[in-house]
Chains A and B, each alone.
Chain A
């Protein structure tokens, strides 16, 4: 019987459209996710294959979250439709057993919904066969990951969610409660997923996620590319536990439902109650009416209607009110809105934090988060309700009555569009209120309502309105609700897919949001024109759509297009013709203006053409890369910045010197092709070729430049951002917060490697060989240049910069003079120490705060609305100058300044004595509130100040490992300053994040992971791993010896001439500080990729007669070396590793507890236990407890210590009691529960244990 019901259920729902819609939708979505970068669902990044096992499993697992809605629809329908169609009385009066009935229906509908996942698998499989995919990123077909994902994620998740919501639907007999339940459930899960970045909650996050996705991602978090492309996870640990836990829970719920269910007829819902009332009350009245026979009652005096323009307006208003009310009071609307608001709350509460430290929730940050987390809800509401509204009268079978009413046709669809528009406004209002509530909750009260208004109502709102029009148009024209729904979704997907196909122009991307960034400093200003004109353009387009919708609007019972066209001719009245005319004129007018701005005033270059151009540059000019050229020795550049016009004029010259032994007769000069060249003079030079597309000129020098001789290159160029560009690119010259540097608009000498295309996949497509990121570490030829410039060594720099009267302009160098002239503000800066050939200019309306350290003046230039952390920056700068001067050598400038720039970019950078700092990083950080927070404002400041030594004094050659001496050393410098300020415990917290970032960064590597000393400008290595390595090195050799070696190195190489220093030389200096027995450490830390797997397995204590405690710690340790792709080989342990024992946890202790013992032990291969003596009762013990080594499972290094045995005499150790120590009842299990303790400990205690 069960089987028959199962089969019936399957066949019944198989004939319904929903499963087909779900399957087709999934297939399309996944197909695009696999074959383009426009749609992403987890998915592959970098060198990970598009069909990598990791990608397959992640996609299938992620889709089970979305699939909850569909699964619920199937399983709840399976029983609920009997109540709804009132067939329950038929079924329940048969001799059907309720177990068969319920489980058959449940299983049948569940099996059916499984087919949508088959569609997903097909989408992945078919997608990966597509010929346009790069062959290098498609791996061989493997069945394993599909099977694993089906068995571990898909089927269990379908069962779990299916059982929960089947039960809810069956027991409540109410779909509203069921869907409300789904929403609460999914939101809860998404919150759990959001917990992942917080290191502290990983185990909890693994278990509470009913989809098992957290457990999977935590297990695979540190997978390298190789592993992502090949591994299938193991069903163990938290993943297994999670699956068992949730499947078990679901089974219990299902059993409960079967037990509770009664095969009784009739709902308990409100609707059915009302129905019963209605029929009982209706009874008597029907019979009542003797008086009915006569024409009694009030005499019927018909009211003559009047038809005027006012009538139509009143009809529209009345209808619009009714339609709007039906949407806003609709259950789906309320549920979707609540779902969205919860999502928004989650997203905005956890906005950008850096290393776990929160930022002030300024509106500029909340806006993109709000839109990002809410857009889907708005789209769903619009798509769903466009269909619902347009089809409402027909669905309710009242269209015949309704359509024959004498209101003009335009009032009908306008009322429906109004309902959609009002619902957009309602959603935006709700989301604004949520944003304000979140800000209030976080004690931020500068709500900036105009920013909300402009960002959400004007900008996002107009786009949503356009989508609403498109949805309405499809519903009106297609005359098939489902087809129109698909088309509506397709329009939205198209908006994402087109850019991926490099069809990027705003003129044909309907749902394209212009890339708009609100900056506190600069508002929306650079985007205003773009927003205005694209809105007008699509607005006119929508008028045309609406006019067509009006003509083809179905009124009556005649859906055939041919007949509707006949009616359309009747409807083509003057106003409609006028609307068409306005739309066409408007589209052409605003379109032309957009085109003029994007393609005439600016250049429209889609991404692929940009790549082509980069490839061409390389193909044409790479051959000149190693050509001899003169070097810049002096740069004098005067700059006039006109913020409101977004223009900068740059005049000046370079002194060039032939430092080679031979005469130079050719000079190559490159310049950004967008720059207007008014004058570019090369004395004795004759233009031999000029390439305006690439901005590349070749001059013949006659006479040639003799060895040792100098010449001057002078120029007068101008850069401006007229109108608006298609990309919406912010540009570097803006109304408030201009920031550009010497690589942006100034002439440079010869071929610039920096301009090469660096994406391996894009290079391959264009026939370029794999990129050589850096020359080999000992390449002497390459060591003639620093990694920052191939046209100069150290230069003298001088600039006079002017800006508008209300702004301050800044550039590297010490300020010589400041004056006003012609209503403009002038500043003259000059360096008094040589600098790298790298400088920049900034201009803005700044507030200034000054301080000084010794005779160095320190200034912070900031947006007046961002006063929060200025003192931290000043403090950080002072402490840094002090520490670095003491330890590395003197500071070379008289001034040091930090300057804020808009959030168009997110970094801080060290120019000589000038540190541009993005408004999104330090200025809105919320350091003061949380005593545990990492003061990254202090830290970033210290890092950038560190660069004044590590980059601006010591500069690595243009070979592998160069950033070790700049970025890694700036990290180390900052760590030391921070440690002195905040203590070691804070540092450990910080380093945990560094470890996490490094390990996660390995998985996103696009080419090859390098050991630190060969790092090829890879941030996750030179920053993240760099911090860990230098901290470990300091730990091993001590701060003073290490800094002494570093100081020696700085003195030896600072401001040096070619050949420039490299990492082996750096390591030679460091090696002097490392004791002879620890030299191997340098191999592990710098020359190889070394990973450890340390794990505490058992810890016991025993009290000695003298009151001290003997702690025995058993552990497993292993050490691996990885190659660049992540392939690991085990190496014998031969390392000094921390062993720690911790006591009571107190207020001032590390979070592990009071440190009772922390000492380095030398571990040889096979060692797995140590024994130590401590004075106080031990609580926890571990190996490498502070994670100083790079360990992929840092959490299991430490464990609780259990009471292990009887009291011992002093000096005795547990070796005298071989074998497992019997645990006293009730205390001994803690240790074994936490780890799998070996039964016996065979290894000998090494001689240096005591």
Chain B
């Protein structure tokens, strides 16, 4: 039985006064859990806290029966963590370092370790570069190496912060497959900017803004709630301010050089608007917008 991760009332303020987390409470069941939010929303703080790297000011975190904040060693034994930014020992080969990490993850048996290291190198498409010094790796290769190390040792809690950043589309797909393959039985927390990844992969998600949880739920269901409320229209740049004043514009984007706006509304604002089948992105932007309005 895979444990559930329970986060209760976690707050964190940095010495420079930035309040990174405000009373965050989340229940994260087994399976893939998406974490969405803009830069500086507190995603990384939350993930580092879950990964035993940081102390919250207040709050409790439990993974099943384990107190994450106190029993760090126990948590680390179940953890697979890929930070958003990371480096490597430059003068060591990929195989060597992954092998080293495997030891540090507690895979002591040399034969087992060899198998798992080679399997992971293959799954991350690094087999060809196993002898290569990590200092010569390109960004994408390094990112794949990071993914490999996070998956070492049968983790029960996988925390991946922007895992697909820097990967080309093929590699990204490959990674998503890998993750979903593993993600059935364990808690996987996936933080990303790519909203589609969450809707593709996750059964649960949360949107965080300014350190607060703004929305939690099943991505598909949250999308359902917006059905019939999202409308789009092509506008000129000059008209944009007027629309922003009169309607709830949740997003603007350029389509073939022209500006398309999405508007949230209970009914069609006027005939020039077209109904849109909502996407998770609409949920995301509308949630953030609502939070902004509240804050203002």
Interface residues of A (CB under 8 A from B): 271, 274-275, 277-279, 282, 285-289, 292-295, 297-298, 300-307, 310-311, 314-315, 318-319, 322, 326, 329, 392, 396-398, 400-401, 403-408, 555-558, 560, 563, 566-567, 570
Task: Let me know if B79 and A406 touch, CB within 8 A.
Answer: yes
Q: A300-B123, A303-B112, A303-B113 are in contact. List 8 more A-B contacts (CB 8 A).
A: A282-B138, A289-B174, A294-B177, A304-B154, A397-B85, A400-B51, A406-B79, A406-B153
The answer to whether A322 touches B81 (Cβ under 8 A) is no
- The answer to whether B92 and A322 touch across the interface, beta carbons within 8 angstroms, is yes
- Is the C-beta of B264 less than 8 angstroms from some C-beta in chain A? no
B151 to chain A, nearest CB (A): 7
Minimum-distance CB pairs A-B, first 5: A305-B106, A556-B53, A397-B87, A406-B76, A302-B154
B128 on the A face (CB < 8 A): yes
**Is there contact, CB below 8 Å, between B73 and A408?**
yes
Q: How far does the alpha carbon of A285 sit from the alpha carbon of B104 in the complex, in Å?
A: 30
A326 touches B91 (CB 8 A): yes
A54 to chain B, nearest CB (A): 49
Q: For residue A330, which residue of chain B has the nearest CB?
A: B91
Does the CB pair B53–A557 fall under 8 Å? yes
CA of A275 to CA of B133, assembled, Å: 10
Mask: chain B, 85-109; 1 = CB below 8 Å from A; 0 = not: 1111111100000001101111111
Complex Cα gap A322–B136 (Å): 19
Nearest CB in chain A to that of B88: its residue? A398
**A302 near B153 (CB under 8 angstroms)?**
yes
Residue B140 is within 8 A (CB to CB) of chain A in the complex: yes
State whether B119 touches A406 (Cβ < 8 A).
no
Query: In whole Å, how far is A127's beta carbon from the nearest beta carbon of chain B?
Result: 39
Q: Are A307 and B103 in contact (CB under 8 A)?
A: no
Write the nearest CB–CB distance from A692 to chain B, whole angstroms.
63
Residues of B within 8 A of A315 (CB): 103-104, 106
| Contacts A289-B170, A405-B101, A407-B104; A300 near B181 (Cβ below 8 A) | yes
Is A298 within 8 A of B119, CB to CB? yes
Bound complex: CA of A303 vs CA of B72, how far in Å? Answer: 21
Given contacts A300-B182, A400-B48, contact A563 B55 (CB under 8 A): yes
CB-based contact B136/A285 at 8 Å: no
Cβ contact within 8 Å between B170 and A286: yes
Q: Is A307's CB under 8 angstroms from B182's CB? A: no
Determine whether the beta carbon of B125 is less than 8 Å from that of A302.
Answer: no
* CB neighbours of A275 from chain B (8 A): 136
Contact indicator A286/B171 (Cβ below 8 Å): yes
The reply to whether A274 and B138 form a contact with Cβ atoms under 8 Å apart is: no
- The residue on B at minimum CB distance from A322 is B100
Q: Mark B62-74, 1 if CB is under 8 A from A, else 0.
A: 0000000010110
A404 to B83, CA, bound (A): 10
How far, in whole Å, are A567 and B54 apart by their CA atoms in the complex? 10
CA distance A318 to B48 in the complex (A): 26
For the complex, what is the distance from the CA of A397 to the CA of B83, rounded to whole Å? 10
With A279-B138, A302-B116, A404-B79 in contact, is A566–B55 under 8 Å at CB? yes
Q: Can you sample 20 A-B contacts with CB below 8 Å?
A: A278-B132, A278-B141, A288-B170, A289-B174, A292-B174, A295-B177, A300-B120, A303-B115, A303-B116, A304-B153, A396-B87, A398-B89, A400-B48, A400-B81, A400-B85, A400-B86, A405-B76, A405-B101, A558-B54, A567-B55
Closest to A286 in B: B168
Q: Which residue of A lies closest to B57 (CB)?
A: A563
Query: Measured between alpha carbons, how far is A563 from B89 in the docked complex, in Å?
Result: 28
**Which residues of chain A are within 8 angstroms of B82 by Cβ–Cβ distance?**
401
B79 nearest in chain A by CB position: A404
Contacts of A404 in B (CB 8 A): 51-53, 76, 79, 81
**Known contacts A398-B86, A400-B86; is-contact A406 B108 (Cβ 8 Å):** no
Asked whether A274 lies within 8 Å of B171 as measured between CB atoms, the reply is no
**Contact between chains at B104 and A282 (CB < 8 Å):** no
Residue of A nearest to B141 (CB): A282
- Among B90, B92, B170, B182: residue with most chain A CB under 10 A: B170
Asked if B285 CB lies within 8 Å of chain A CBs, one says no
Complex contact B83–A400 (CB within 8 A): yes
> Does B77 sit within 8 A of A, measured CB to CB?
yes
How many angstroms between the C-alpha atoms of A407 and B102 in the bound complex?
11
The distance from the CB of A1059 to the nearest CB of chain B, in whole angstroms, is: 83
Q: Size of chain B's interface in residues, with CB distance under 8 A?
A: 65
* Residues of A close to B53: CB separation below 8 A: 400, 403-404, 555-558
* Residue B269 CB within 8 A of the other chain: no
Note all chain A residues with C-beta closer than 8 A to B90: 396
Asked if B17 is at the interface of the complex by the 8 Å CB criterion, the answer is no
Give Cα distance in the complex from A304 to B112, angstroms. Answer: 9
Whether the pair B153, A305 counts as a contact (CB closer than 8 A) is yes
Q: Which residue of A lies closest to B47 (CB)?
A: A400
CA separation between A341 and B251, bound complex, in Å?
A: 69
Q: Which residues of B contact A570 (CB under 8 A)?
A: 70, 72
B108 close to A314 (CB less than 8 A): yes
Cβ–Cβ < 8 Å partners of B133 in chain A? 274
Chain A residues closer than 8 Å to B86, beta-carbon distance = 397-398, 400-401
Q: Tell me the smallest distance from the CB of B254 to a CB of chain A, in Å.
A: 27
Q: Which residues of B contact A277 (CB under 8 A)?
A: 136
- Taken together as a complex, chains A and B put the C-alpha atoms of A297 and B174 apart, in Å, by 11
A403 to B101 CA separation, bound complex (whole angstroms): 11
Residue of B nearest to A299 (CB): B119
Cβ-based interface call for B146 (8 A): yes
Question: Given A286-B168, A289-B174, are A556 and B54 also a contact pair (CB < 8 Å)?
Answer: yes
- Specify which of B83, B119, B140 is in contact with A286 (CB 8 Å cutoff): B140
Residue of A at shortest CB range from B186?
A302
CB contacts (< 8 Å) of B113 on chain A: these are 303
Q: Complex: how many Å from CA A732 to CA B136?
A: 65
Partner of B153, one of A279, A303, A326, A392: A303
**B235 interface residue (CB < 8 Å to A):** no
Known interface pairs A318-B103, A557-B54. Does A406 touch B122 (Cβ–Cβ under 8 Å)?
Answer: no
A285 in contact with B79 (CB, 8 Å): no
- Is there an interface contact between B136 and A274, defined as CB atoms closer than 8 Å? yes
Kindly state whether residue B149 has any CB partner on chain A within 8 Å: yes
With a cutoff of 8 Å between Cβ atoms, the chain A residues found around residue B15 in the complex are 560
B178 CB–A CB distance under 8 Å: yes
CB–CB A302/B170 < 8 A:
no
B290 at the interface (CB under 8 A from A): no
* Complex Cα spacing A329 to B178, Å: 37
Q: By the criterion CB–CB under 8 Å, are B181 and A295 in contact?
A: yes
Set of chain A residues within 8 Å of B87, measured between Cβ atoms: 396-398
Q: Is B135 an interface residue (CB 8 A)?
A: yes
Residue in chain A with minimal CB distance to B113: A303
Partner of A298, one of B123, B135, B173: B123
Name the CB-closest residue of A to B69.
A570
Interface string of B28-62 (1 = CB under 8 A from A): 00000000000000000000100111110000000
Chain A residue nearest in CB terms to B176: A295
Residue of B nearest to A317 (CB): B103
Q: Decide if B273 is an interface residue (CB 8 Å cutoff).
A: no
Closest CB in chain A relative to B72 CB, distance in Å: 7
Q: Inside 8 A of B89's CB, which chain A residues have their CB?
A: 322, 326, 392, 396, 398
Chain B residues with Cβ below 8 Å from A288 are 170
Chain B residue with Cβ nearest A279: B138
A307-B104 CB under 8 A given contacts A293-B170, A293-B173:
no
- In the bound assembly, the distance between CA atoms of A302 and B77 in angstroms comes to 14
Min C-beta distance of A304 to chain B, whole Å: 5
Using CB atoms, name the residue of chain A closest to B80: A404
Residues of B within 8 A of A557 (CB): 48, 53-54
Whole-angstrom CA separation of A401 from B73 in the bound complex:
15
Docked-complex contact A302 and B73, CB < 8 angstroms: no
- Complex contact B77–A406 (CB within 8 A): yes
Q: How far is the CA of A560 from the CA of B85 in the complex (A)?
A: 21
Residues of A near B101 (CB, < 8 A) are 405
Residues of A within 8 A of B72 (CB): 570
Are A406 and B55 in contact (CB-based, < 8 A)?
no
A626 to B19, CA, bound (A): 87
Chain B neighbourhood of A556, CB < 8 A? 48, 52-54
Which residue of B is nearest A273, CB measured?
Answer: B136
Q: How far apart are the CA atoms of A271 and B133 in the complex, in Å? A: 10
